[in-house]
Copies of this chain bind each other. A is one copy, B any other.
Amino acid sequence: MKVLIVDDEEMIRNVLKEYVEFEGGEAYEAADGMEAVKMCRAADYDIILMDVMMPRLDGFSAVKEIKKNKNIPVIMLSARGEEYDKLFGFEIGADDYVTKPFSPKEVMARIHAVLKRYSDEPSSDIVSFEGLTIDMTGRNVYVDGEKVELTPKEYEILFYFVKNKGIALTREKLLMDVWGFDFYGDDRTVDTHIKMLRSNLKQYRKFIVTLRGLGYKFEA
């Protein structure tokens, strides 16, 4: 775990560095925003602890600059009581925010939380229909809390259904939009995939309604 610590106070850098290294991480230091930007251009870090008020280039501007090129999680460190700053800090893409004076322990906890969130899955488009939960960006589907493994086509069909909830879809339309215009196969291919998708959705197969003589519809 490579942590870049950006603060103009050497004392603070040292304390944080000690904690990071105690937990087996590598700590790197920058004394101001400008330096931090340069270091990020040269190397990759797993997370940045960034002070707000610094000479030469402040923390916000530095984060903005860094995030232009790399998506690195950032925790802002700032003096207490700067509510406007807090708001602005989130907007420019900070992932968490700690007010000074802070306990190094708390900072470490936040580092872990933020990294976990990054490694897990960013907050994403999640829709639920009763016990059927569909996480579009994470590409996960849960039936009563249990993850079900779908093949790529099954995911795509399900996502397409959800996006077109309640709309009658012909096989041709499904083939056109899910398979692509250049599919020249059998109409009934759709049926087979629907069959598989249904069996994977268990009791929530009920959401996929057959429209005889037409096609299918997702109705929740």
Contacts of A69 in B (CB 8 A): none
Q: How many copies does the complex hold?
A: 2
A58 to chain B, nearest CB (A): 17
Q: Are B89 and A131 in contact (CB under 8 A)?
A: yes
Interface of A is mostly: mixed
Instruction: Name the interface size band of chain A.
Output: 35 or more
Q: Are A121 and B165 in contact (CB under 8 A)?
A: yes
Q: Are A102 and B123 in contact (CB under 8 A)?
A: yes
Contacts of A105 in B (CB 8 A): 90-91
How far is A106 from B94 in the complex, measured between Cα atoms in Å? 12
What per-residue 1/0 map shows which CB atoms of A64-105 lie under 8 Å from chain B? Answer: 000000000000000011011111111111111111011111
Among the listed B83, B87, B135, B146, which residue makes an inter-chain contact with A104, where contact means beta carbons less than 8 Å apart? B87
